[in-house]
Each structure stands twice: as C-alpha cells, then as structure tokens.
Amino acid sequence: MFKVLVIAYYYPPLGLSGVQRTLKFVKYMKDYNWEPVVLTTGNIAYFAHDYSLLKESNDAGVRVVRSGGRGPNSLLSKFGTMKIPPELIRKLINRVSQAIYIPDNKISWAKAAYKTAEKLLSEEKFNAIFVTGPPFSAFVLGSRLKKDFNIPLFLDYRDLWFGSYFSFYMTPFHKLIQKRNEYLSLKSADRIFVTNRKIKENILNYFPFLTFEDIVILPHGYDAEDFEKLKPIPKHNDKMIITYSGIFVEYNSPKYFIRAFKKLSIERPDVAQNIELHFVGFLRKENKKLIKKLKLESFVKDHGYMNHGDSIIKIKSSDILWIMVGRKKNIDAILPGKLYEYFGSLKPIIACVPEGAAKIAAKEYGACFITEPDDIDQIKNTILEVYESYKKNQLPQPDENYVAKYRRDFLTEQLTKQMQFMVKDDLI
C-alpha cells in the first residue's frame, strides 16, 4: 500500500459539515491501495460533536494522531460542546479573530502539529501529504513539510482562501499577507483539488502561474452506505414535510423562506395547514424569535443538532428538501456539501440560490425547484407549486446515473488515482 499523511483540523468527534469530506475520503482509501494516517486536533471546544462519526472512523480502521495547540478552541476545551452564539456576535468574534491571527486562529495548532508531523515523517515512510482547508494555516503547515521532507503535497480546498465570502481584511497589509501565504502554499503543491469550477476559476485568476491542469475538480458527495443502511420514519399523516438540514451562518438565513411561508399561510391557509417545516441542525435563537413573531410555531418542528445518521434518517423521511445560499462577495463559488447529501436521498429540492456553483449543481440534478434566495413572493409561489405537485404525486425525480457520480467511494477512487499518478512520477 501507498501511505498518505492526511492533515485536517476538522475531524470527528467534531461535527458539522467540515468533517464529512475528509472522513469519507479516509474511510474508503484502503479500498484503493492507500493507507491514511490522519493528523488532527486534540480535545477542543466546539459547537457540535458527533461520536457516531468517530465510531465510523474507528470501524474503518483509520489511524488518527492528535496534536494540541493554544488556540482559542483549545483554551476553551474544558467547556466541551458550546452553544453557538447569535450570528451578530459570532460575526464580530470572527472579524476580530481575522484581524489578530494570520492566516487564521488555528495557527497555534498548525505549529504544534508540525512537530507531530515531523516525528511521523521522520520515523515512517509516507508517499504523500494531503491537506484540507479551511483552516488555511494547515496549508502553511503542509507547505513547510513539503520543503523539509520533499514528499508530494496535495492541497484540498473546501472553500476559497483569498477573497473568500468569509474573509475580512482590516488593512491592505492583511489582504496582501493572506494572498502571499496562499501563493507560497500553492507554489509548493504538486496537485490542487477544489470542490467546484468557480473556485478553480477564482484561484487561476488570482494566481496565474498555475495551469488549468494543476487544479482538479473533486466535488462533494454522499456516502451511499448511509442511505442504504438507514431507513426512513413512517409517516402518520399526509402532510408535506419540507426539511432543512444544516446550519444558518454568514451566507444563509431562513428569514426569506419563513416570511414566504407566512404569506402562504395568509393567502392559502388550506395549503399551509398541510405542510410541516422541519429544521435539523442549528436553527439559531434569532430565527426562532422570527418564527414566534410571525406565529408559525405550529408549522415548525425544530429537531436541533443530530448525529449524522439521525440527520440522514430525517432527510429520508422528508418529502421535500430545502437549501439556501444568500448574496455575498464571491458567493458564486460556494457549493454546500449538504446539497450533495440531498442528492443522495433522491428527493426533490427547493433551492433558493443565486447564480453560481450551487445553482449549476441544482439544475444538473434535475429535480430542483430553483428560486432567487431573497424573493419572498417567488419562494411562496414555489412552495405552492411544489405542494400541488406533491398532492398529484407528480414531483420530479432526479437522474440516478447523474447522482451516482457523487458517491463518496467513487470520488475517493478519483482522488487516489490523482495522488498515485503524481507519486509514481516522483519515484521515476
């Protein structure tokens, strides 16, 4: 077997979508002749922990090495799973953090992780280093390891770095140093992976020394095993269930959808009374207040944060799934991993998205009702259209051959082929 050191700050028992891509890659790597060793963080405070995903990693026989640090999350580790703050406070904390820490507040962890990685690479034979970001301090770590050990380096972008929809540059210096850090990381990489074409276009535009072949699109996906082994909950009525699974943060908000449903409940109460809105994940305090203000509590079921398996069951038990991406700079490059998990369910989707990667993917799926993210009347009319199709048993079905392309095991095969190609070139 080939052997790869996988560096990922976000890894189980941490929850939320940031861990999914890495976990599913390493779960299937051994099927394609690659042995992964995951270098990740130790015990930290976080908004969500999912020990079922840690069990999945252990059951797959993945070796995990943990490294500490003195970043904010590590210093707060005694608090365990923390409540997510209101969005305004979270954004303020995030902006202050970006002003203080470069490239991000995980830099302390990256420095500690370097010592752990140095020991591993000195004592064992590795054929490659695979680093996923954010946080992008991990890319800086990977670049340093490439320089010191001359092992092929693969960088995996789950989101943009420079010019990200999450980025805040307090001064021109912050902007300049972030771009230079990314430039140096990319210069050291043997291959770059991105989740969609828009990210690839942005990186090529920002860093013209790269060629089209240097960057490979390796999209998010779904684990077919999750959907095969987990069964939906039987329905006890014929109400149409619309489900959102995930978190509302920075680039998305349920307020337009909620207000659209409120208008529907006024104009067509006969339809609204036959619809349930389910939220799996973090609905957030401010959104609950809006629901209460609009007197929609009887239509809404807030399930809170659930482990991955239970969230899949809720998705499979729904009639319609809903996703939302708002308007921000470079938002056309965002493509939530949750969308591909929706694809795995083969359920119809209401996608409230602007122009960009998410809209392109939704169209290709073939079973999406697409609206602008903030057009309340359009969203209301779409909910009504979906309901009428539901009652007639005429909801659209996706192309299953298209969906199968995004199986996690197939995507892992593509990843390992890319790594093996570069490693063999390195051995010649």
Cβ-Cβ contacts under 8 Å for 82 (sequence gap 6 or more): 45, 46, 47, 76
223-244: pLDDT as tens digits? 999 999 999 999 989 999 999 9
* Predicted local confidence at residue 320, as pLDDT: 98
Please state, for a pLDDT cut of 90, what percent of the chain lies above it: 83
> Which CATH superfamily includes the segment(s) 224-404?
Glycogen Phosphorylase B; (3.40.50.2000)
pLDDT band at 16 (very low <50, low <70, confident <90, very high): confident
368-409: pLDDT as tens digits? 999 999 999 999 999 999 999 999 999 999 989 999 999 999
Name the pairing type of β-strands 320-324 and 349-352. Answer: parallel
In the predicted model, what is the mean pLDDT of residues 249-265?
94
* Maximum pairwise Cα distance, the chain: 70
Q: How far is the CA of 95 from the CAs of 39, 100, 168, 170, 423, in angstroms? A: 28, 9, 6, 8, 39
pLDDT band at 24 (very low <50, low <70, confident <90, very high): very high
Q: Is the pLDDT of residue 78 over 70?
A: no
Q: Is the pLDDT of residue 424 over 80?
A: no
43-55: pLDDT as tens digits? 887 888 999 999 9
* Predicted local confidence at residue 47, as pLDDT: 84
pLDDT band at 355 (very low <50, low <70, confident <90, very high): very high
* Predicted local confidence at residue 75, as pLDDT: 63
| Domain map (residue ranges) of the chain | 2-221+408-427, 224-404
Question: In CATH, which of 3.40.228.10, 3.30.428.10, 3.40.50.2000, 3.40.50.20 is domain 2-221+408-427?
Answer: 3.40.50.2000
pLDDT band at 360 (very low <50, low <70, confident <90, very high): very high
* Predicted local confidence at residue 115, as pLDDT: 96
Cβ-Cβ contacts under 8 Å for 295 (sequence gap 6 or more): none
Beta bridge partners of 131: 7, 155
Q: Assess whether the region 2-221+408-427 and the region 224-404 belong to the same CATH fold.
A: yes
* Predicted local confidence at residue 165, as pLDDT: 82
161-188: pLDDT as tens digits? 998 888 888 999 999 999 999 999 999 9
Helix (H) or strand (E) holding 245: strand 240-247
